[in-house]
Amino acid sequence: SELKKIIQGIPKAELHLHIEGSFEPELMFEIAKRNKITLAYDSIASLKEAYKFNNLQEFLDLYYIGAQVLIHEQDFYDLTWAYLTKIHSQNVVHVEVFFDPQTHTDRGIAFDVVIKGIYKALEKAKAELNISYQLIMSYLRHLSEEEAFKTLESSLPFKDWIDGVGLDSSEMGNPPSKFTKVFEASANQGYKLVAHAGEEGPVDYIWEALDHLKVVRIDHGNRCLDDDTLVQRLIEQEIPLTLCPLSNVELKVIQKMEEHPVLKMLDKGLLATIHSDDPAYFGGYMNENYYETAKALNLNKEHLMQLAVNAFEASWLNSETKEKHI
């Protein structure tokens, strides 16, 4: 269709992507087989059948199970490379990738195994696909701050490969303020800071991410429209929101795409952007997120271009490179 062609034609930046959430069932079964791991699902179809979520936690339960088949550096490399070739086909030219070290170190996989596989695939994509990238290490918020400190410590030998830290996993009951000290320590190591906030959680969590963690970007932030003072703050400080429309529908953050707040956010002058979050689980990569949002909200070409420009603006590319994309 015309709309699909327009979206394909726009060079895009993806800023909210969990690499473990790009694990397609086909690759999951292939890696499980070579690692001699038996999945609790006997076929790709029965696994996909389980991809029906009522909330974030139901998704996370399955996401952590899927990640358990990743054992060797090659597995992390294959996972990352599959994602990168996919987005290359969708005209994504810059990506800022989250990975969750604790999802792996907690099962006895060494930090270096995880990051080396991911890093080597990212470097190959830079050289061969002309995709620029940043890498963001996310702390799991359902674990303790002490555990996050251990992860920070493990990351230090690889500091040059890591651009920032994030905060993800179960939001309710795990407010950003639980991680104030480890975010401060991360900033002292030179890491940039982001956090998931206001996806399922209340607007207070967005305030905490700003005031306690000092993040430069909010992942999701859907709930910010509940608070005019917060909206003003986000506009004045040009804090981007990395929205994930298909994720929001699949996790019942909204009941249907027509309710997605992104257009209201653009109209208010917020730096709203669109990304895929966990594309293998939520039914679409970048183009599908743009397309479904555009269809439901009647977005025109200018809106779509604005969203793409906002993402480069919100990215961690240097200002000279940003200009080239905008």
Residue 11 CB neighbours (<10 A):
11
Longest CA–CA span in the chain (Å) reads 54
3-state secondary structure of 102: helix
Distance CA 241, CA 293 (A): 16
278 carries a ligand binding annotation? yes
Is 199 one of the catalytic residues? Answer: yes
Distance CA 34, CA 39 (A): 12
Residue 223 binds ligand ES4, judged by CB under 6 A = no
Residue 103 binds ligand ES4, judged by CB under 6 A = no
Residue 21 binds ligand ES4, judged by CB under 6 A = yes
From ligand ES4, Zn ion, none, interface partner of 56 (C-beta below 5 to 8 A by class): ligand ES4
From Zn ion, ligand ES4, none, interface partner of 169 (C-beta below 5 to 8 A by class): ligand ES4
196 carries a ligand binding annotation? yes
Residue 15 CB neighbours (<10 A):
26
Q: How far, CA to CA in Å, does 233 sit from each of 209, 238, 252, 263, 297?
A: 13, 8, 27, 19, 26
Closer to ligand ES4 by CB, 4 or 52: give it.
Answer: 52
Q: Is 146 exposed, middle or buried (0-12, 13-18, 19+ CB in 10 A)?
A: exposed
Residue 275 binds ligand ES4, judged by CB under 6 A = no
16 carries a ligand binding annotation? yes
Distance CA 27, CA 4 (A): 27
CB of 208 vs ligand ES4, minimal distance in Å: 16
**Which residue in the set 278, 290, 307, 311 belongs to the binding site for ligand ES4 (CB under 6 A)?**
278
Q: Residues in contact with ligand ES4, total (CB under 6 A)?
A: 11
> What stretches of 58-105 adopt beta strand conformation (E)?
92-99
**Which residue in the set 151, 155, 169, 310 belongs to the binding site for ligand ES4 (CB under 6 A)?**
169
Closer to ligand ES4 by CB, 251 or 266: give it.
Answer: 251
By CB under 5 A, name the binding residues for Zn ion: 277
CB of 160 vs Zn ion, minimal distance in Å: 25
90, 285 contact by CB (below 8 A): yes
176, 202 contact by CB (below 8 A): no
Q: Scan residues 24-63 and list those touching ligand ES4 (CB under 6 A).
A: 56, 63
Residue 75 binds ligand ES4, judged by CB under 6 A = no
23, 280 contact by CB (below 8 A): yes
Closer to Zn ion by CB, 25 or 221: give it.
Answer: 221
From ligand ES4, Zn ion, none, interface partner of 316 (C-beta below 5 to 8 A by class): none
Q: Which of 73, 96, 171, 199 is catalytic?
A: 199
Distance CA 101, CA 148 (A): 10
Q: Which residues bind ligand ES4 (CB under 6 A)?
A: 18, 21, 56, 63, 168-169, 196, 199, 247, 277-278
Residues belonging to the binding site for substrate are 278
**Which residues does the annotation mark as catalytic?**
199
